[in-house]
């Protein structure tokens, strides 16, 4: 066990090959749920727009707990954190489906 922990096997030996196989098996066969590791969607995404203003899609979860009057300010903070650039909000549009469920926000900003 000591040799395994301190990796004292010579290369090209069968012990070395078994240790590497065990490590690879652990990496590739361990289920994601064991470590609660799940992919997360990005909350702020830049989409193509005009040259005068940048357009960002903001997930509704990012602005869920924000009062409607403060959503513009929060949107600017999210975009600045994502891009690292100072920008000024031109307008913030709510995107909803026909049932009035909010699907996201479109933030139009200028540098």
Whole-number average pLDDT of the chain:
88
Which whole number is the average pLDDT over 25-30?
A: 92
Return the pLDDT at 59. 92
- Per-residue pLDDT at 29: 93
User: Hey, where are the domains in the chain?
Assistant: 2-35, 44-110
pLDDT at 95 over 90: yes
Percent of the chain with pLDDT over 90: 52
Q: How do beta strands 88-96 and 44-47 pair?
A: unpaired
CA–CA gap between residue 69 and residue 5 (Å, rounded): 58
Q: How far is CA 55 from CA 7, 18, 42, 63, 67, in A?
A: 52, 52, 15, 16, 22
Strand 54-58 versus strand 102-110 pairing type: antiparallel
**Closest to 106 (Cα-Cα) out of 90, 93, 89, 88:** 93
Q: Tokens 């064991």 map to which residue?
A: 34
**pLDDT of 32-66, one tens digit each?**
778 776 666 678 988 887 788 899 999 999 998 89
Q: Residue 108's pLDDT band (boundaries 50, 70, 90)? A: very high
């Amino acid at each position: 066990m000591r040799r395994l922990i301190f990796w004292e096997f010579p290369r090209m030996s069968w012990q070395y090959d078994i240790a590497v196989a065990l490590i690879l098996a652990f990496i590739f066969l361990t289920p994601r749920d064991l470590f609660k590791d799940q992919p997360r969607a990005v909350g702020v995404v830049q989409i193509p727009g005009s040259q005068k203003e940048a357009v960002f899609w903001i997930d509704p979860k990012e602005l869920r707990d924000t009062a409607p009057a403060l959503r513009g300010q929060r949107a600017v903070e999210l975009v600045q954190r994502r891009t690292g650039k100072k920008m000024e909000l031109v307008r913030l549009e709510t995107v909803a489906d026909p049932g009035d469920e909010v699907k996201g926000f479109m933030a139009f900003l200028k540098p």
